Amino acid sequence: MKKKLHILLLMTLLVCVNTFAQDKLILKNGTKIKCKVISINILTIDYKDSTSTLFTLDKTDVLMAELKTGEMYVFGNDSYRSTSPPRNKYTRELERKEAIREKEKDFKDNIFGFQPIDIIWGRLTFTYEHLFMDKKMGVTVPFSLTYDPRVLIPNSSNDTIVNTREKVRRNVGFITGLDLNYYYESKSHTKFFFGPRFRYGTDVNLANITAYTVQFQQGFLLCDSKGKMATTVAFGFGFARIISTPFSSAFHPKQSFPWASFTLRLGIRR
């Protein structure tokens, strides 16, 4: 009997804690909604009910919001005034993140980029990145046309198999791959990201070696205030695995080597 009583008391306590931990929205028509307030935006309020379904209310329909943190917001037609306790570090961080999300709603999800420094390494590289999950994740697909950068030098000699170190290679190759970037929410115009990076193809500048690389990449995405331009600066570290090479005396297939990369991408958001 005592065991059943203890279980009943525990269940009652959990119900009470869950009830007291809820936020509350009071509408102008007198309706009270117990929920979890997700965000208070410029024109709307997002909240979830007990089934975790997301709802959006027009702020002009809401009279007051009482949060479980003790904050209370009284709304007018176009703005609200807060009767909450003094703002602490936690509430300031929530407000900062909300301001970032509100600012980025107008930013486009597609970034078309060009990597100018790659020209020096014998690569003409273009990229396409799509952002999703509220711009917290990004998938990048690069495409590089590889060549011997010495072809840019006037009067460069013709290609030959006799001495590849001295003669210019005239052929071209291709490299492509995939990046998966996780964007950590920091500043609205500067975001830190990290994630895996994969490349596969033939690098003409590296003696026509065909290989794949697997790296861990981290860097920053910098955007202008209007979200039209996007610059990426990143470093990658991992390994390269040789698949085939025409010069087995210098490089042997099935070998792996440490590998690093530097990325500078200039892009536009569309």
Give me the CATH number covering residue 146.
Answer: 2.40.160
Give tens-digit pLDDT for 50-75.
888 888 888 888 888 888 888 888 88
Q: Give the span between the Cα atoms of 75 and 81, in whole angstroms.
A: 6
Query: How far from the centroid of its chain's Cα atoms is residue 207's Cα?
Result: 35
Whether residue 166 lies inside any domain: the answer is: yes
> What mean pLDDT is predicted for residues 69-83?
66
Q: Give the span between the Cα atoms of 125 and 143, in whole angstroms.
A: 6
- The dihedral through the CA atoms of 101, 106, 111, 117 has a sign that is negative
HSE value, Cβ hemisphere, 13 Å, CA-based, for 27: 13
Give me the CATH number covering residue 63.
Answer: 2.30.30
Give tens-digit pLDDT for 129-148.
999 988 889 999 999 999 99
pLDDT band, residue 160 (cuts 50/70/90): very low
242 in the same domain as 116: yes
- Based on DSSP, count helices (H) and strands (E) in the chain, helices before strands: 2, 15
- Identify which has the larger pLDDT, 47 or 6: 47
Whether residue 133 lies inside any domain: the answer is: yes
Helix, strand and coil percent figures for the chain, each rounded to 5: 15, 50, 35
Total tally of structural domains belonging to the chain: 2
Which pLDDT score, from 0 to 100, does residue 11 have?
53
> What domain range includes position 15?
2-85
Phi and psi at residue 12, to the nearest 5°: -65, -40
Q: Order across the sheet with 32-40: list the strands.
A: 54-58, 44-48, 32-40, 23-27, 62-66, 72-75, 80-82
Top-ranked range on mean pLDDT: pick from 20-34, 91-105, 154-168, 211-225: 211-225
Which pLDDT score, from 0 to 100, does residue 88 have?
59
243 in the same domain as 121: yes
> Are 180 and 139 in contact, with CB atoms under 8 Å apart?
yes
Give tens-digit pLDDT for 213-224.
999 999 999 988
